[in-house]
Structure 1
Amino acid sequence: MAEEKKDTDDHLLVGSVVKAFRVLEAFDRPHRSMGFSEISRVTGLEKSAAQRAAHTLWRLGYLEKTPGSGEYRLSLRCQDIGMRFAETNRIVEAVAPYISLLRRKTQASVNLTMLDGTETVFVQRHTTVDMLGNKLGVRARLPAYCTATGIAMLARLPDDEVRDVLARSDLRPVMPNTVWQTDRILERIGETRAQRYAFGVEEDMASDITLACGFTDPATGDVAAIGLSYFSGTTSVEEVHAQARDLLVSVVDNLAGELAGN
């Protein structure tokens, strides 16, 4: 995995574009709407730079002004970018029928995740009623080292890339069951490679049992995983293994073969 270059080393980098995206990425749940001063504080940009970037994004339609306060907030046009990713990504397109199959055949929440640096990103989530209380929908990104889907995806990488990801991760216990020590994570990745799936119990969120299997798109190098998440209050580890392990591995094998053939 190539080392990231500093901004000052990249003479093709357009600074104004960087600032605009810093402004867009500043809007989140704690910062639903912001004025120039708060945008400047959150992004670290000078107020004049924050003002120009926000105004430009407003003119382009990616920000809108909140009635009454005049503060900026993300517009619906921002969602178009995510939807275009889904429309153009080979994995998202290929996985659709397999997600439907798993939803019919299991009692689990079915998740498609992809690896982005040190994080696992939920690209698709189909949540059961049992899992709604876990607020799974709040977080689109989680550290890869402490999730079953993340471990399943790390198992698809060469050892040197795995160590690079772990070196750049903030390794710490998120839950009492979190495996966060480097040697134990590497051991877990080895087990995942041998058995073809990763398994986690309340390692990143409470009341969660997740079974995950990773795969790679050979045409793009994208690494992804399908995860089946169960509510531990109504399902046991043994039941998850019996119901879904072989099915999930078979589904991912078929999906990987389809991607390899296209």
Structure 2
Amino acid sequence: MSKGNPPASAAADYADPRLYVQAVEKAFRVLEVFGTLQRPLSLAEIAEASGMDKSGAQRMCYTLRRLGYLALDEHGRGHVPGLRLMDRSYDFLRMHPLVQRATSPLMDLRRTTQERVDLSLPDDLSIIYAVRLQSKRETFAATLVGRRLPAFASSGGRAMLAYRSDEEVESILGRSDRRAMTPKTVVDLPGLRAKVTEARALGYALAIEEWFLGEIVLAAAVTDGGGRPVAAIHIAASLSEWEVEAFRKRMAPLAMEAARALSG
């Protein structure tokens, strides 16, 4: 699993033992080790990271290779994710109704802003990027869908937290691994509560250099018919090209208008 915490929906603590298949869990534990160890891995490394013995890891890796969900690195350095995983990502994206509806409006927003535009989805303590429309300058990681960020440290996460109850906010903040990504990441509970309160008042959240130095990101939440947050629209830019207040004044109305159009 990538940085942050695994989704609550996958937690074995809440599984019905009559229905829960532990072999399936083990297979996904093998696949998830590449979220934190992002390089070709040996059997021994996979076994240690997944909490399995080497014999079990060997059988699991062999099976996943046969199915196409793992592959051997072309340079012989170990195992890497297989191409079949791309098929499952494609299935998720094409079958998600909000992603389908959002793509065209997000492309319009990208043309208007000339900056990076993203759509993220909530997953308990994290957000996951489902659409990423890059601008003229991006890091490699900032162009990829599927990236997971902690909700507390992202503008999209805070924008969605603003639509949750105080009890839910406290639960998410309290369970989060609140490590700083940069010297400017807000990690203390009073500071984070203030950020959520600010997002509730403004209708959007702003993160300044909290994930990457030199980056500013503004986000507005998309809600369902009951007012629950189901996604966030992000607009990201460089502080070398924007003053904070100018960015806020220009991008906040655009992000909120796009979020309202997709809500409900």
TM range (shorter): 0.7 to 0.9
CA contact (8 A) 1:156 1:223 kept: no
Q: Could you say which residue in structure 1 is the equivalent of 2:219? A: 212
CA contact (8 A) 1:113 1:123 kept: yes
Q: Could you say which residue in structure 2 is the equivalent of 1:55? A: 62
Runs of 4+ more than 6 Å apart: none
Aligned equivalents of 2:40, 2:18: Cα separation in 1: 33
Q: Could you say which residue in structure 1 is the equivalent of 2:4? A: none
Q: Is residue 203 from structure 1 mapped to residue 213 from structure 2 by the alignment?
A: no
Q: Could you say which residue in structure 2 is the equivalent of 1:108? A: 115
Q: Is residue 72 from structure 1 mapped to residue 45 from structure 2 by the alignment?
A: no
Q: TM-score, normalised by structure 1?
A: 0.87
Q: Residue 259 of structure 2: SS of its match in structure 1?
A: helix
CA contact (8 A) 1:26 1:43 kept: yes
Q: Residue 210 of structure 1: SS of its match in structure 2?
A: strand
Q: Which amino acid aligns with 2:13?
A: K
Note closer, same or farther for the CA distance 1:7–1:104 as it changes in structure 2 (3 Å cut): closer
Q: Could you say which residue in structure 1 is the equivalent of 2:158? A: 151
CA contact (8 A) 2:133 2:143 kept: no
Note closer, same or farther for the CA distance 1:13–1:213 as it changes in structure 2 (3 Å cut): same
Aligned equivalents of 1:151, 1:31: Cα separation in 2: 27
Superposition map of 1:107-186 within 5 A: 107-130=114-137, 132-133=138-139, 136-137=142-143, 140-186=147-193
CA contact (8 A) 1:7 1:13 kept: no
Q: Which runs of 5 or more structure 1 residues have no equivalent in the other structure?
A: none
Between 1:109-118 and 1:182-191, the stretch displaced more is 182-191
Shift of residue 9, structure 1, vs aligned partner:
6.4
Aligned equivalents of 2:25, 2:191: Cα separation in 1: 38
Q: Which amino acid aligns with 1:55?
A: Y
Q: Could you say which residue in structure 2 is the equivalent of 1:93? A: 100
Shift of residue 205, structure 1, vs aligned partner:
1.4
Shift of residue 176, structure 1, vs aligned partner:
2.6
Q: Is residue 190 from structure 1 mapped to residue 200 from structure 2 by the alignment?
A: no
CA contact (8 A) 2:73 2:80 kept: yes
Shift of residue 89, structure 1, vs aligned partner:
1.0
| Count of aligned pairs between the two proteins | 255
CA contact (8 A) 2:103 2:131 kept: no
Deviations along 1:98-121, whole A, 9 cap, x unmatched?
101111110211011111121121
CA contact (8 A) 1:121 1:142 kept: yes
Q: TM-score, normalised by structure 2?
A: 0.87
